[in-house]
Amino acid sequence: MSNKDAALDFLQMVVAGDIDAAYERHVAPDLVHHNAYVPAGADALRAAMKEAHARQPGKVFEVRQAIAGDDRVAVHSHLRFKPEDRGYAVVHLFRFEAGRIAEMWDMAQEVPADSPNADGLF
């Protein structure tokens, strides 16, 4: 499985609530993450993902583009907590070691109701 396929599979599994299986399949034991709202460490991020899934089990997650090079993968997606929501533009960045996610960043921007940019976020 390519790093790009692994990153996409990981994200889809997390959104589906298969968080433990996603970690077992794709995450390095010493994962470093850079989410500003979650304490450091793989276990803290896993717990936060489980809590988020419990709060919003019906999320809609659409990958708009994924880019891979060497040990890095970038995934640009549209995340909505309910199908009717405008949602967020989200970017996940992954660094892989030996086919497993060793480092991860995630950033989100709310999709505005009105924007002067007709091109939009997607």
Does 3.10.450.50 match the CATH number of domain 3-110? yes
Q: Give the DSSP H or E segment for 42.
A: helix 42-55
**Count of C-beta atoms within a 10 Å radius of residue 26:** 22
Q: How far is CA 96 from CA 19, 41, 71, 100, 101, in A?
A: 18, 16, 5, 5, 5
Q: Which pLDDT value is given to residue 85? A: 93
pTM of the model as a whole: 0.94
What are the mean pLDDT values of the chain's consecutive 10-residue runs (122 residues total)?
97 97 97 95 96 93 97 98 94 98 97 93 92
Q: Which pLDDT value is given to residue 21? A: 98
- 95 vs 60: CA distance, rounded Å: 25
